Amino acid sequence: MAEEQDKFCEYLSGVNPVWCPGCGYYGILSALVEAFAELRLPTEQLALVSGIGCSSRLPYFVKAYGFHSIHGRALPIAQGVKTANPELTVVAVGGDGDGLAIGGGHFPHVARNNVDMTYIMFNNAIYGMTKGQFSPTTELFASTKTSPFGLTGEALNPCALAIVYGASFVARGFSVKKEHLKDLIEQAIRHPGFSFVEILTSCSSFNTLDMNVARILHAMDYVPDGHDVSDPIAALKLAGHDEKIHLGVLRKSPRPTLQEKFTEIQEKARRGKSATVASLARQFA
């Protein structure tokens, strides 16, 4: 126990989280570092990349190489990190606004390129950092600061998006179900290729309705045992919220990672011969 605690602490930077009391993110942070500890990942091999938002502050609190970047750009940055150094364990974290609003254009492409990394989206259905405007996943809490008379759009479903984008691992967790969440994160990191984990979590300051703990505890269910993760249509069905909100691994579709593709490309390009800059210059002679 004490040893577990120690292992856990090894992954904390010592910087105290700035989150509000009661914020669901505390639970996520601890599930995350426990997963790191379980996987015995060397801290120096861990690259945590985030955008901007309360959730994106997470890297400061973890002992790892951390990149707190700009709003919505965690994914392309993470893709660059992994491309440059495939040895690293790359994890991108961020909010629903960061990932589905301003950063929503990058998600399909990093997924379809199967960058071998894990993307963890903290879905609190609100913009926490900017104090309570609706996000693309806001559904129940209709009268946010920028929608005082109701929302205009239907909410997006992050897991359904990830599936259609071709993410090769898609799972949904809940900040309150810490053990389950830890396990999902471990699986996601272990999975070779692009892994997506949506975490339902409540913003205690600005939206306690959408991801209300009691409500979700009531509405949730685990992915049924017989679910075929290789079937995208089955995964899409489970991803929907219609009856129950399903927690667990929804989809797996293993295929070559971006890194493997790069290796293949380099081999094809070389055709067994080695090249130098001087040899390349010869085409201009």
Partner 1 sequence: MHDFTLRVAGESGEGVITIAETIARIAAREGLQLVTFRTFPAEIKGGACMMQVRLSDRKISYHGEKVDCLVVLNQFALEDNVADLNPNGVLLCEAECDAPEGTFAVHKIPFERIAVREIGSRISKNIVVLGVLAHLLGIPRKSVEDFLAEKFAKKSKAILDHNMLALGKGIHFAEEHVAKREGFGFPKGSHQRQLLMTGNEAIALGAAGAGLQCFFGYPITPASEIMEWLAAHLPKLGGKVMQTEDEISAICAVAGASWAGAKAMTSTSGPGVSLMSEALGLLSMAEIPAVIVDSQRGGPSTGLPTKTEQSDLLLALYGSHGDAPRVVLAPTSVADCLTLIGRAFYLSETYQMPVIVLVDQALSARVETVDPALLDHLPQAARLKAENGDGGFARYRLNGSISPTALPGVPGCEHMVTGMEHDEFGNFACDDATHTAMTVKRFQKLAEIGTDPKMRDSCLAFGDEKAEIGIVTWGSTAGPVEEAVRIAAETGFSVRALVPRLLNPLPHAELERFFRQVKRVIVPELNFTGQLASVLRSVYRVPTIGLAKVKGVPMDPSEIVAKIAEAAAGLASTRSAEHGRRAG
Ligand X SMILES: Cc1ncc(C[n+]2csc(CCOP(=O)(O)OP(=O)(O)O)c2C)c(N)n1
Query: Using CB under 8 A, which residues numbered 32 to 91 contact a second copy?
Result: none
Q: Does 253 bind partner 1 (CB under 8 A)?
A: no
Q: Using an 8 Å Cβ cutoff, are 46 and 89 in contact?
A: yes
Q: Which does 177 bind (CB under 5 to 8 A by kind): partner 1, ligand X, Mg ion, none?
A: none
The pattern of x and - marking residues 102 through 141 that bind ligand X according to CB under 6 A reads --------------------x-x-xxxxx----x------
Q: Running DSSP on this structure, what letter comes out for residue 4?
A: H
Q: Which does 150 bind (CB under 5 to 8 A by kind): ligand SF4, Mg ion, a second copy, none?
A: a second copy
Q: Does 100 bind a second copy (CB under 8 A)?
A: yes
Q: Does 180 bind a second copy (CB under 8 A)?
A: no
H-type alpha helices, the chain = 2-10, 25-39, 74-84, 96-97, 107-112, 158-165, 178-190, 213-219, 232-239, 258-270, 277-281
Reduced to 3 states (helix: H, G, I; strand: E, B; else coil), residue 230 is coil
Q: Using an 8 Å Cβ cutoff, are 194 and 113 in contact?
A: yes
Q: Does 87 bind partner 1 (CB under 8 A)?
A: yes
CB 161, min distance to Mg ion, A:
16
- Stretch binding a second copy (CB under 8 A), from 62-70, 152-160, 177-185, 276-284: 152-160
Looking at 133, 204, 212, 259, which residue binds ligand SF4 (CB under 6 A)?
A: 204
Q: Using an 8 Å Cβ cutoff, are 71 and 52 in contact?
A: yes
Backbone phi, psi, residue 85, to 5°:
-135, 90
Backbone phi, psi, residue 145, to 5°:
-60, -30
Neighbouring-strand partners of residue 122: 95, 199
- Stretch binding ligand X (CB under 6 A), from 89-97, 191-199, 226-234, 276-284: 89-97
Exposed/middle/buried for 3, CB within 10 Å: 0-12, 13-18, 19+?
exposed
Q: Note the residues at the interface with ligand X (CB under 6 A).
A: 52-55, 71, 94-98, 122, 124, 126-130, 135
Q: Note the residues at the interface with a second copy (CB under 8 A).
A: 100-106, 108-109, 112-114, 136, 148-150, 152-157, 160-161, 164-166, 233, 236-237, 255, 258, 261-262, 264-265, 268-269
